Chains A and B, each alone.
Chain A
Amino acid sequence: MPYLGGEETVRELRRALSNPNVQSDQLRYRNTILKVIRAMSQGVDMSGLFSEMVKACATVDVVQKKLVYVFLCSYAALNPELSLLVINTLRKDCQDPNPMVRSLALRNMTNLRLPSLVEYVEQPLAAGLRDRAACVRRVAVLGWAKLHNLQASSEIDAAVVNELYSLLRDPDPVVMVNCLRALEEILKDEGGVAINKPITHHLLNRLKECDIWGQCQVLRVLQRYRPQSEDELFDILSLLDASLVSPHPPIMAATLSLFLSLCSGQPAVSLAALERVRGPLLAACGSGSREMRFTALCHIQLLLRSIPGLMGAHYKRFFCGYAEPAYIKQRKMQVLVELVNDENVAMLLDELKGYCTDVNAETAQAAITAIGRIGRSYSDRCLEILTGLLGLKQDHITSAVVQTMRDLVWVCPQCSDTVCFALEGCEETLQDSQGRQALLWLLGVYGERVSSAPYTLEVFIDGVRSEASLGVKMELLTATMRLFLCRPAETQDMLGRLLHYCIEEETDMCVRDQALLYYRLLHCGIEETRKVLQGRRSDPSLGVLIGRPAEPVSQWARSFNTLEPLRQGSIETESVSRGSPEHTMFDPKPNADLSNTLDCSRIEKVHSECVRCPTIPRCSPQSLQAAMQLVNIQTLAFTPPQTLPWRVYLYTHTCLDDAPHSTLILGELLYTGEEPQKAEVHKGSADGGVGAEGIEDDM
């Protein structure tokens, strides 16, 4: 921060600090130091005053000491030589009869963070571990962790580690927790504190004595423990039951996290625990702090992945208040979409409809997207609302509605009639490129049913020179080509103009190349063109799975109570702005970690192979599906039962938290009836992140 007169201030303060009259008057001396601190906190560089401040350190006044320490700790790294002078005073203070002064000195000695001073600090720290005042021990224990951070490469002193382990049994609970924290940091390379049975039970028994921060720490460390027998496991669980419903959200979350890690082999117990935390989680959702509400919402989303019906009865808790911040509203809508069922759908849609006119454009768009999601199961009601919204003639609303309709038609082709009817005339209010792309896509695919389609395209083509968006131009090319295939008479002329412009005048390579491709394609004859351009339609016989299959808890247990679930928000809102449906895969309720689209360059290899399965004894599709879920293969969509050939689209993905690579496998399973089952598997291996890639559906 530029601060005028910074130099001047420093000089003035130096004069005051070295003035003997000021030094002898304790009050004036302290006030001068206060000015230094104030200037420092405003960002003025005060490091020039270091030697004066070191002198000020030698005082009996505790307040002055504290102030000087604040200064010294921030500038010590710049003046390692001069800092040596402070050590003497600090070491003297470590002998002081007042435990407050001892702990203060010890704390600041370690806060200086100078590797050159380590040799002077070790001795008082070792003495501090055996001090009779608990507050000194607390500081000393953490001091060793700071010391270790300072010289991470050096050998760990086994004696100190042993002493820290023995202090785990200290009568003061804070010392105990600090020991855990220190050992976690010092022994990071070995994987943290060794958690064995005696330590675990000792910690569990003393859990009640700790404050909430301490409890969280203990619960977190215990996640590494694996009980040796089932009896022991249930003993631990019953001990923890009270903290599972703790009114403090951090403790509740930490306990649930521990529960899930302990019961990783017992899915039924984990599910029961999730039921148990419903109350406290809902309470956190209504908490006074909006940050707390937000975090609780994100965690509820995780829980819903395993028990979709968990919050069904409480859907009203997720209605948005007028003055709530946008990020909470958007999360609440995502939760509401999950909670929809036959009884509450009317109520929910009414509520969401109200949000569509929110002042915040992003919130409004999120509400419209949410309605679109619900539309996959209740298309008639939702389309009615969406069409109604078009009447408002607001450009951000229209754009979101058109995009939502495009996404919806891809999944539910039966809605296309209503959509085509609604499209008339909305191109005038569309401003942004995403919305126009969506409109163009719809016009291309359903051109034969929208009577005004050629005229709308003509307006676009006439304005193509001034068009700035690359996406719109590409989409326009494709849409015009498609329209040409079904309505050649009206479109031929404008297609010619467009191709001519794109090939001759367009400067962007992508657009030009695509135009050339289409031009050459037309040379190959109309049948070839039709094959390429109209090959990919969604199959109306495919029914989308309504209601997500419940995922096993272990899928997300590791990310519970971490920052992971909070991060997804930004990704999910971005996914609103994606391209046409052909380029994205539709997961009925996208899993958060699958929702960001992956660009094709990240696909390492795509190959398809056809596997002929040996004859399987007759089994129903349902039981097949259930069996596959057991081995973590999820179903995307399938044809209605009793149709032949019956097909089902599948995906599965590896989820290794720490590995940067993850693999996504998409597949199609084809069942042709009497013949043996035949499975075709297309594999896409995604590198560097998780993502979804479109099914190559011309398998």
Chain B
Amino acid sequence: MIHSLFLINHSGDIFLEKHWKSVISRSVCDYFFEVKEKAVDPENVPPVLQTPHHYLISIYRGKLFFLSVVQTEVPPLFVIEFLHRVADTFQDYFGECSEGVIKDNLVTVYELLEEMLDNGFPLATESNVLKEMIRPPNILRSVVNTLTGGSNVGDTLPTGQLSNVPWRRAGVKYTNNEAYFDVVEEIDAILDKSGTTVFAEIQGVVEACVRLTGMPDLTLSFMNPRLLDDMSFHPCVRFKRWESERVLSFIPPDGNFTLMTYHVSSQNLVAIPVYVKQNINFFETGSCGRLDITIGPKQNMGKTVEGLMVTIHMPKVVLSANLTATQGNYTYDLTTKVLVWDIGKLNPQKLPNLRGSLSMQAGAPKPEENPSLNIDLKIQQLAISGLKVSRLDMYGEKYKPFKGVKYLTKAGKFQVRT
């Protein structure tokens, strides 16, 4: 199925290759480089390319291309999902998925790839199982390994692979038994010039960190489960019980995992936490422009908006910006033409404002379109959809665990048109 994998960095160097069937020459990537050259921005490279003898299916993650070579017809969703799984695994093992990190951990990377695919077919992709076969590197262990000559390869067979619950290994033991859940919601929204919502949707995820002894059976229930659309669960969740009772019942994997992801897509349920008053003008003559942006709180359920940041991709003709901010500070990157205004906490008594003039290239025509504002923000202890966990019960074990739920709202693709 998947013949070979090439990892290619931002500038177009292949720095890792792995073949599961016969060896395919690197020259197959030339087709890819050709398209990449043409696309200018690496993001614009289409994910599927056809060459005379192969298909190249690639994903772009963290400034890296994961390029797989396929010889026969395959389901594209399958390959794309798998490539993302590979990237996720690297992220999970090394904390980030970048060229430097992969080069530093080359051995682990090869071992992982070897375990994840055999003859081109996915083999072990569940992070819990992989971690038992190949232990993730950490500083302490690598020091110990250097001193003792030990290895980071488990020398026993992962027990989980044969148990009835493939995602959990047997015989887990902790002195502190704890189960924490983070409900993280991202608002994807497009607001138009007048502040009305063109499109809004919430992408939510429930991340769990469960360290419990033995084989606990957990039940998590929500105050308002009917709010959610399009849920997707970790394989451990019993779907039947969700369908009948709207509770999440599961035997958790050990450690960190994503319990579920969901969408809230009906627009009237999506609260927009801030409003933006903006005025960006480019003058016909005099090659300059004005900019005036004010941000204020809208529907934030009484919580403070933090980490507020506004990013504007200015038109190419804007040479510099001479602005004053009543709060926070701004930077304008001359090469990328990106204006970033880092505001921080939003104070509802004194609204942050950024105003001033923009100077443009002399003689250049006035840009026909105003730039959009991308907004980044955070609200602690609030799930903007109003989702609330009501209780967590544990069956099957006798001890009493620590439990905790945290909520966080973030801006995802939050964009204001001007």
Report the minimum CB–CB distance from A21 to chain B (whole Å): 15
- With a CB–CB cut-off of 8 A, which chain B residues contact A145? 119
Tell me if B183 counts as interface (CB < 8 A to partner A): no
Q: Is the CB of A63 within 8 A of B151?
A: yes
Known contacts A325-B43, A326-B44: does B75 contact A248 (CB below 8 Å)?
Answer: no
State the CA gap A133–B157 with chains docked (Å).
9
State the CA gap A561–B75 with chains docked (Å).
5
Chain A, Cβ-Cβ closest to B201:
A286
Q: Is the CB of A282 within 8 A of B118?
A: no
Q: Hey, what's the 0/1 contact readout for A641-678 against B, CB within 8 Å counting as 1?
A: 00000000000000000000000000000000000000
Of A36-44, A416-424, A549-557, the stretch lying at the interface with chain B is: A36-44
State the CA gap A325–B42 with chains docked (Å).
9
State the CA gap A113–B24 with chains docked (Å).
14
Of A287-295, A368-376, A454-462, A632-640, the stretch lying at the interface with chain B is: A287-295
Tell me if A591 counts as interface (CB < 8 A to partner B): no
Q: Is the CB of B149 within 8 A of A321?
A: no
- Interface of chain A residues 274 through 316 with chain B (CB within 8 A): 279-280, 282-284, 286, 288-292, 294-296, 316
Q: Is the CB of B123 within 8 A of A174?
A: yes
Q: Is the CB of B126 within 8 A of A211?
A: yes
6 contacts between A and B (CB under 8 A): A62-B155, A133-B157, A138-B118, A290-B60, A292-B81, A295-B76
Q: How many of B's residues come within 8 Å of A, CB to CB?
A: 85
Q: Is the CB of B118 within 8 A of A139?
A: yes
Tell me if A508 counts as interface (CB < 8 A to partner B): no
Q: Is the CB of B107 within 8 A of A34?
A: yes
Of B230-238, B297-305, B327-335, the stretch lying at the interface with chain A is: B230-238
- Interface of chain A residues 88 through 147 with chain B (CB within 8 A): 98-100, 107, 113, 133-135, 138-139, 142, 145-146
- With a CB–CB cut-off of 8 A, which chain B residues contact A138? 118, 123
Tell me if A611 counts as interface (CB < 8 A to partner B): no
Q: Is the CB of A146 within 8 A of B50?
A: no
Q: Is the CB of A319 within 8 A of B121?
A: no
Known contacts A34-B106, A216-B75, A566-B48: does B149 contact A26 (CB below 8 Å)?
Answer: yes
**Additional pairs, 7, CB under 8 Å, beyond known A37-B107, A216-B75, A250-B77:** A1-B14, A42-B15, A142-B121, A172-B162, A247-B261, A291-B58, A322-B372
Q: Hey, what's the 0/1 contact readout for B98-142 against A, CB within 8 Å counting as 1?
A: 000001001100110010001101110110000001000000000
Q: Is the CB of A327 within 8 A of B157?
A: no
Tell me if B74 counts as interface (CB < 8 A to partner A): yes
Tell me if A67 counts as interface (CB < 8 A to partner B): yes
- With a CB–CB cut-off of 8 A, which chain B residues contact A43? 14, 26
Chain A's interface size range is: 35 or more
- With a CB–CB cut-off of 8 A, which chain B residues contact A142? 118-119, 121
- With a CB–CB cut-off of 8 A, which chain B residues contact A360? 44
Q: Is the CB of B114 within 8 A of A70?
A: yes
Known contacts A38-B106, A253-B77: does B203 contact A325 (CB below 8 Å)?
Answer: no
Tell me if B82 counts as interface (CB < 8 A to partner A): yes
Q: Is the CB of A135 within 8 A of B157?
A: yes
Q: Is the CB of B81 within 8 A of A562?
A: no
Q: Is the CB of B46 within 8 A of A569?
A: yes
Report the minimum CB–CB distance from A332 to chain B (whole Å): 12
Known contacts A41-B17, A139-B118, A286-B201: does B48 contact A563 (CB below 8 Å)?
Answer: yes
Interface centre among B78, B122, B263, by most chain A C-beta atoms within 10 angstroms, is B78
Q: Hey, what's the 0/1 contact readout for B289-314 against A, CB within 8 Å counting as 1?
A: 00000000000000000000000010
Report the minimum CB–CB distance from B119 to chain A (whole Å): 5
Known contacts A146-B119, A178-B121, A213-B121: does B80 contact A289 (CB below 8 Å)?
Answer: yes
Chain B, Cβ-Cβ closest to A318:
B199
